Amino acid sequence: MSMTTSTQPVLDIRDLQVYFPVNRGVLFIKNKGAVKAVDGVNLSIAPGETVGLVGESGSGKTTVGRAIIGLVKPTGGVIEFEGNNVLEMNPAALRQFRRQVGVVFQDPYGSLNPRMTAERIISEPLVAHHLFNSKQERRARVQELLEIVGLNAGMASRYPHEFSGGQRQRIGIARAIASDPTLIILDEPVSALDVSIQAQIINLLDELQDRLQIAYLFIAHDLSVVRHASDRVAVMYLGKLMEVAPRDAVYDNPLHPYTKALLSAVPVPDPEIEKKRERTVLTGDIPSPTNPPSGCVFRTRCPIADEACAESIPELREVTPGQHVACLKV
Amino acid sequence: MTTQTNTENDAAASADSASTILEVKNLSTQFRTRAGLVKAVDDVSFSVKEREVLAIVGESGCGKSVTALSVMGLIPTPPGEIVGGEIMFGGKDLLKASDEEMQEIRGGQMGMIFQEPMTSLNPVMTIGKQVAEPLRIHLGLSKTAARVRAGELLSLVGLPDPLEKLDDYPHQMSGGQRQRVMIAMAMSCEPKLLIADEATTALDVTVQAQVLELLIRVTEEFGTALIIITHNLGIVARYAHRVNVMYAGKIRESGTAADVYKKPGHPYTAGLLSSVPNLMQSTSGKLQSIEGEIPDLTDLPSGCAFAPRCPYVQDRCRLEDPPLENVGGDHISACWESAQFRGTT
C-alpha cells in the first residue's frame, strides 16, 4: 500500500482548473463570471493504487474525472499520464492514452446503448483500437471478458434491458477493461445499486485490480464504500481539495474540520456505536459555486473559522507524513 | 430501550401502557402489470406505538414504500389494489374509510414526507401559502392566523429568515431547505403519526444529518410517532427504536434495533449488514455480499423467497414459506433455519 516516491505515477494532476462560463442574455451575451467547478487540484495516482475522491454534490469530484478523460476541457493546469501531458498530446498519442484509460459511469441504465447487444457494447473499445485480427478472435475476447466479470459467455447476444442493474454494471466494467487499461475512472460505480448488489460489484472491482494491476480513481459520495476500496483518499469541497491522505489517516485521524464533520454525519449500522458517537452537525447548505466564499471556501460552515479564514486561501500542506490538509487552523 | 434487569419491568409496563396508534393486520397490496400480478405487500402485520420510531428497511422492490402508501390510502387504483387486511388508526379501519374521511386524516392526524421535495411542493405557489393550506383546511384557521402560524412553523424547522421565506417559491430554496418546508407542512396539524419515505435519500450526507436530527427533534416535541422508510442501515441504527426488515413483499424479521443488529434473526438481515463496508475500521479482502439477484416479484420462487440466495438453505425452505416466529424477547423472524443460523453466527 505504501508507495515509494521513486515510482512514476500513472496519473499526475497539477493545479487543475475547470471553469464553466456563466452567460446571461440571448442576443447580447454577457459574460457574468465563471463557476470554478475545479480550482487548483493536485492529485497523483501510483500504478495499481486506488485513490478515493469524495465530496458532496457540487464539490467538483465528477468534473475532475471528466477532465481526465477529456469530456470537459480544463481551463488550466497539467494532467500527466505516464509522464506526458494529456492536454498537449497529438492525436496519435491521445488515441493511445484513451486505450489505456477506462471509465465506468454511475448509471448502468443510461450508460449502455439500449439498441446494442452486450457483445457489441463490449466490442466497441476492441474495434476502436483495432485489438483483434479476426471476427473469431474478437468474439472469443468478448466471451472471455464476460466471464471475467462474472457473466455467462452465452449472454453476449442479449440487450441491456434483459439484464439487472448489477449485471449491467458488470457489462460496463467489461467494456472498461476490454482494452487492457492501466487506469480506470470509476464515477460513482455502485451508488445506483442496492446494498447486496453493491458489495458484489465492489468485490469484482477489487478482484480485477489484483488480477490486472489497474489503478483506480474511485469517485464516490459514500464514505464507507470509499474506505473499503481505497489506498488513499482525497476530500473535495467546492472545487478544492480539503484533505488528501492514506485512508486510515483520513478515517481514524481526520484533521480538516470538513472531513471530521463529513465523517460524523454518516450513520453507522451499529446501534451501540451510534449511541456513543459524537456528532458534529454542520449548519447551512453548501454555498453556490457561482459565488463561493472568500478565503477558505468551507469557512461559512466551519465550526472553528475566524476572520483570518475569510482573508487568505489555505494551501494544501503536509501536516503529518502523507497527510495533506488545507486549513489555517491545523 | 432500557435493558437493565431492575428497570426491565418498568420499561415493559410503560411500553404496554403506551397505546398503539397504528395497527396493520395482514395487509396485502397487489399491482396488475403487463408482466403479471405483483404481490408488492403480502400479508404484512405490524404496529406502531405512541412516540415510537419504527424503521422499515429493505432493498428496491421489497414493499416498504407500498406499505407506507397503503397506510396513507395513496395506492393508485388501478393498477394497484389493497386485497386484504386491516389498517387500524385512531379506532378506525382506514380501509373502510371513505375518500372524504381519508382526506381528513391525511395531513391532519397523519403526515407524510417523500424523497423528492421538489415534486411534492407546488412550484407556482409561495411557501407561505403551501404551509398555511393544511392549517386552513384541517384546523380552520383564518388567512392571517394561518400565515402567522406558518411563519412560526418555518422557524421551528430552522429555516433562516422564516418570515421572508413565506413569500419565496420552492425553486428559490435548496434541497435541504425544501425538505424542511415539507417537515413544517407535515407537522403543521400536530399529527399522531408521521411517515418519512426515503425523505433524506436525495440529500448530501451533511444535509441529511441536519434534516434527520430536525425530524427526530420535532416529532419528539409534538409527541408524534415516526415511521422511517429507508434502505440505509446506518440511519436505522442511529434513530430507530424498532425495525421491520422486508424482502420480496414480506416482513422477514422485526425487533428492537439493538436486538436485530446484535444478533440478526434472519440470514437476509445478516447478509445486508455484512454487505455494508465498515466506516469505523479498515477492511481488506472481500465484502460478505449476498449472492444472486433480488427476485422478480412476478415470478417468486416457491417456499421462502430468499432461499435461492441463502447460504443456510435446506430442502424445506424451497417448499414451505416460514412463518414469523419468536426468537427471543420482542424479536421475531421468518426462517426455518434460524436456530441453526443464529447458533453459527
Has residue B4 got a pLDDT over 60?
A: no
Cell 407546488 -> residue: B122
Has residue A2 got a pLDDT over 50?
A: no
Whole-number pLDDT of residue B7: 38
pLDDT band at A21 (very low <50, low <70, confident <90, very high): confident
For residues A56 and A142, give the distance between their C-alpha atoms in angstroms, rounded to a whole number.
36
Give the cell for residue A44: 497523483
For residues A74 and A19, give the distance between their C-alpha atoms in angstroms, rounded to a whole number.
7
Q: Is B292 left (phi over 0), alpha (psi -120 to 50) or beta?
A: left
For residues A96 and A224, give the distance between their C-alpha atoms in angstroms, rounded to a whole number.
34
The alpha-carbon gap from A134 to the nearest alpha carbon of chain B, in Å, equals: 35
Has residue B17 got a pLDDT over 60?
A: no
Q: For residue A141, count CB atoms less than 10 angstroms from its CB and return exposed for 0-12, middle for 13-18, buried for 19 or more.
A: middle
The whole-number average pLDDT for the span A23-43 is 82
For residues A108 and A85, give the distance between their C-alpha atoms in angstroms, rounded to a whole number.
31
For residues A67 and B277, give the distance between their C-alpha atoms in angstroms, rounded to a whole number.
29
User: DSSP letter at B226?
Assistant: E
Cβ of residue A272 closer than 8 Å to a chain B Cβ: yes
Predicted TM-score (pTM) of this structure: 0.89
Return all residues near B152 (Cβ < 8 A) that are at least 6 apart: B162
Cβ of residue A164 closer than 8 Å to a chain B Cβ: yes
Whole-number pLDDT of residue B204: 87
Return all residues near A295 (Cβ < 8 A) that are at least 6 apart: A308, A309, A310, A311, A312, A313, A314
Name which of A283, A203, A251, A193 is nearest A54 in CA terms. Answer: A251
For residues A183 and A44, give the distance between their C-alpha atoms in angstroms, rounded to a whole number.
12
On the question of a cis peptide bond just before residue B123, with omega within 30 degrees of 0, the verdict is no
Has residue B10 got a pLDDT over 50?
A: no
Name which of A200, A176, A199, A198 is nearest A186 in CA terms. Answer: A176
The alpha-carbon gap from A234 to the nearest alpha carbon of chain B, in Å, equals: 16
The whole-number average pLDDT for the span B126-144 is 92
Whole-number pLDDT of residue A3: 46
> pLDDT tens digit string along A85-118?
999 999 999 999 999 999 999 877 788 999 999 9
Cell 383564518 -> residue: B142
Whole-number pLDDT of residue A138: 94
Look at B275 and A285 and tell me if their CB atoms are within 8 Å. Answer: no
Facing residue for A199 by CB, picked from B60, B257, B289: B289
Whole-number pLDDT of residue B203: 85
Name which of A34, A43, A37, A36 is nearest A15 in CA terms. Answer: A43
Has residue B218 got a pLDDT over 80?
A: yes
The whole-number average pLDDT for the span B286-310 is 91
pLDDT band at B213 (very low <50, low <70, confident <90, very high): very high
For residues B148 and B153, give the distance between their C-alpha atoms in angstroms, rounded to a whole number.
9
Q: Count the residues in chain B.
A: 345
Name which of B202, B146, B151 is nearest B178 in CA terms. Answer: B202
For residues A214 and A227, give the distance between their C-alpha atoms in angstroms, rounded to a whole number.
18
- Return the half-sphere exposure (C-beta side, CA atoms, 13 A cut-off) of residue B79: 11
Whole-number pLDDT of residue B12: 41
The whole-number average pLDDT for the span A194-216 is 94
Report residue B63 CA to chain centroid gap.
11
Look at B207 and A283 and tell me if their CB atoms are within 8 Å. Answer: no
Element (H, E) at B101: helix B99-105
Residue A9 φ/ψ, nearest 5 degrees: -65, 155
pLDDT band at B1 (very low <50, low <70, confident <90, very high): very low
Which residues in chain B (28-47) have CB-CB distances under 8 A to chain A?
A: none
Whole-number pLDDT of residue A37: 93
Return all residues near B314 (Cβ < 8 A) that are at least 6 apart: B336, B337
Has residue B46 got a pLDDT over 60?
A: yes
Residue B257 φ/ψ, nearest 5 degrees: -60, -40
Cell 418570515 -> residue: B163
For an interface test with B, which of A169, A196, A197, A302 has the most B Cβ atoms less than 10 Å from its Cβ? A196
Q: Mean pLDDT across chain A, nearest whole number?
A: 92
Give the cell for residue B227: 415511521
For an interface test with B, which of A61, A151, A195 has the most B Cβ atoms less than 10 Å from its Cβ? A195
Name which of B200, B214, B190 is nearest B117 in CA terms. Answer: B200
Has residue A139 got a pLDDT over 90?
A: yes
* Least confident segment among A74-88, A174-188, B4-18, B311-325: B4-18
Share of chain A above pLDDT 90, in %: 81
Facing residue for B275 by CB, picked from A195, A229, A262: A195
Has residue A60 got a pLDDT over 50?
A: yes
Look at B279 and A248 and tell me if their CB atoms are within 8 Å. Answer: no
Residue B340 φ/ψ, nearest 5 degrees: -65, -45
Has residue B133 got a pLDDT over 80?
A: yes
For an interface test with A, which of B178, B217, B238, B291 has the most A Cβ atoms less than 10 Å from its Cβ? B238
Which residues in chain A are contacts of B174 at CB distance < 8 A? 285
Look at A282 and B60 and tell me if their CB atoms are within 8 Å. Answer: no
The whole-number average pLDDT for the span B60-75 is 93
Has residue B189 got a pLDDT over 50?
A: yes
Which residues in chain B are contacts of A225 at CB distance < 8 A? 277
Has residue A159 got a pLDDT over 80?
A: yes
Has residue A24 got a pLDDT over 80?
A: no
Q: Are B129 and B83 in contact (CB under 8 A)?
A: no
Interior angle at CA B149, CA B145 and CA B154, nearest 5: 150
Please state, in angstroms and as integers, the Cα–Cα distance from residue B172 to each residue in B118, B127, B167, B168, following that order.
Answer: 11, 10, 10, 7
Element (H, E) at B131: helix B127-139
Look at B277 and A56 and tell me if their CB atoms are within 8 Å. Answer: no
Cβ of residue A286 closer than 8 Å to a chain B Cβ: yes
Q: Are B276 and A224 in contact (CB under 8 A)?
A: yes
The whole-number average pLDDT for the span A40-67 is 94
Cell 457473466 -> residue: A151
Has residue B44 got a pLDDT over 60?
A: yes
Cβ of residue A194 closer than 8 Å to a chain B Cβ: yes
Which residues in chain B (245-304) have CB-CB distances under 8 A to chain A?
A: 257-258, 261-262, 271-273, 275-280, 282-283, 286-291, 293-294
Cβ of residue A161 closer than 8 Å to a chain B Cβ: no
Q: Are A257 and A298 in contact (CB under 8 A)?
A: yes
> pLDDT tens digit string along B90-99?
889 999 999 9
Whole-number pLDDT of residue B5: 38
Which residues in chain B are contacts of A273 at CB distance < 8 A? 237, 280
3-state secondary structure chain A: CCCCCCCCCCEEEEEEEEEEEEEECCCCCEEEEEEEEEEEEEEEECCCCEEEEECCCCCCHHHHHHHHCCCCCCCEEEEEECCEEHHHCCHHHHHHHHHHEEEECCCCCCCCCCCCCHHHHHHHHHHHCCCCCCHHHHHHHHHHHHHHCCCCHHHHHCCHHHCCHHHHHHHHHHHHHCCCCCEEEEECCCCCCCHHHHHHHHHHHHHHHHHHCCEEEEEECCHHHHHHHCCEEEEEECCEEEEEEEHHHHHHCCCCHHHHHHHHHCCCCCHHHHHHCCCCCCCCCCCCCCCCCCCCCCCCCCCCCCHHHHHCCCCCEEEECCEEECCCCC
* Least confident segment among A107-111, B40-44, B170-174, B296-300: A107-111
Look at B286 and A247 and tell me if their CB atoms are within 8 Å. Answer: no
For residues A280 and A35, give the distance between their C-alpha atoms in angstroms, rounded to a whole number.
29
For residues A9 and A81, give the distance between their C-alpha atoms in angstroms, rounded to a whole number.
8
pLDDT band at B309 (very low <50, low <70, confident <90, very high): very high
Whole-number pLDDT of residue B345: 45
Helix ranges, B188-249 (H): 205-222, 233-239
The ipTM estimated for the assembled molecules is 0.85
Pairing of β A50-54 and β A101-104 = unpaired
